[in-house]
Amino acid sequence: MRKADIEGWALRLVEAVNEGNRVEDSRVELKGELPSAEQAARRMAGHANAARNDPILWVIGLDEVRGVVPFDLPDFADWGQQLKSYFVGPAPEWQEVLVPVGTARVLALYIDTSQPPYMVKNPAHGKKGGGPVEVEVPWREGTIARTARRENLLRILLSQESVPGYEVLSADASLHDYGPGTRPRGPSTPPVEEHSSYWEVWATIYVTPAPRRQLVYPAHLGTVEISIGQIEGLNFDEVAFDVPSRHRFHGYAPEIDSHTVRATGSELIVDGPGRFLLKAYLLERNRAKPSGRLQLKVALTSAWGDLPLIIEAQLEPIPDRSGQERRWKFGN
């Protein structure tokens, strides 16, 4: 998610709290102060496990009763490393955004929950009276963190089974310059008003869902981001789907070349193994041209609330005649 969107979410929560509303729910947790790494690890693991794969938001420096409160912010990178050291296996990844609120500020943590189950060490294990339990799978119920029960673990495991397999067959990213008054070729991109950079990403992906399971991926829930050089986590504004087509006879309209995958202007529908095309576009202010390998990350969230399909690929630069890197490619 873009930092501006995270900041907007946090500010809406601040406004709601100032109006006397309760805002903590399955996706939101407020903290008046930054908790210890040990306390935060267990609560974050429980919150992430219960989130049904949706991203969650923690806001530090905001209390439902007191509103925005001053808080100490030590070395946050050090706190984050300490927190992750309590996890066994993957720890949730997050984006942190310091959000000004008048003369004060709050810290928003936008947390990805796509790799459950999250497990944490029992800090009492190995100590006198600490018992035999070495690792715990926490679960958040309401605003309380507790140990996950059997039905909670089943919910996590069954949701993981719904994630399909995938193979990136090919991917292409390109960067174009546009001057004022020109129109990039994206489907809904307006004419630019100043010198701008325009990114395009196209990828052909073969997806393999679980047997007898339909998948529906709304385009508005899909995210595409790239990282290259000094650019990290650049999020695209527009995501679209298509399916391959072919001409069987000269002069006739092309036919859809799939019996298992369909695409509309608003979603991708997968009834069985097959190929689809992903397209993403981004218009931004002109910037220094990046160089080096390009990391592509796609996250497709199902309409059913299953675990998102995370697709990653590394694209190699293809210098043009002048030696500049304006295109990157994966596969044939």
- What would the pLDDT profile of 162-197 be if each residue is shown by its tens digit? 678 899 999 999 998 877 767 666 666 666 667 778
Residues 156 and 282 in one domain: no
pLDDT tens-digit map of 20-29:
988 888 889 9
By DSSP bridging, strand 274-285 and strand 223-228 are unpaired
| Domain C-terminal end among 140, 161, 182 | 161
Query: Within this chain, do residues 9 and 84 fall inside the same structural domain, yes or no?
Result: yes
Are 32 and 98 in a shared domain? yes
**pLDDT bucket at 225, cuts 50 / 70 / 90:** very high
**pTM (2 decimals)?**
0.57
- Of 127, 161, 195, the last residue of a domain is 161
User: Do 63 and 120 belong together in one domain?
Assistant: yes
Same domain, yes or no: 204 and 281: yes
- For residues 315 and 222, membership in a common domain is answered with yes
Same domain, 155 and 173: no
Domain that holds residue 25: 3-161
* pLDDT, tens only, 74-89: 788 899 999 999 999 9
3-state secondary structure the chain: CCHHHHHHHHHHHHHHHHCCCCCCECCEEEECCCCCHHHHHHHHHHHHHHCCCCCEEEEECEECCCEECCCCCCCHHHHHHHHHHCEECCCCCEEEEEEEECCEEEEEEEECCCCCCCEEECCCCCCCCCCCCCEECEEEECCEEEECCHHHHHHHHHHHHCCCEEEEEEEEEEEEEECCCCCCCCCCCCCCCCCEEEEEEEEEEEEECCCCCCEEEEHHHCEEEEEECCEEEEECCEEEEECCEECCCCCCCCEECCCCEEECCCEEEECCCEEEEEEEEEEEECCCCCCCCEEEEEEECCCCCCCCEEEEEEEEEEECCCCCEEEEEEEC
Q: Out of 123, 143, 161, pick the residue that ends a domain.
A: 161
- Say yes or no: 177 and 285 in one domain: yes
The number of domains in the chain is 2
Residues 169 and 288 placed together within one structural domain of the fold: yes
286-322 pLDDT, tens digit per residue, is 777 788 899 999 999 888 876 788 899 999 998 777 6
151 and 281 belong to one structural domain: no
- Tell me: do 126 and 209 sit in the same domain: no
CATH of the domain at 34: 3.30.950
pLDDT at 70 over 80: yes
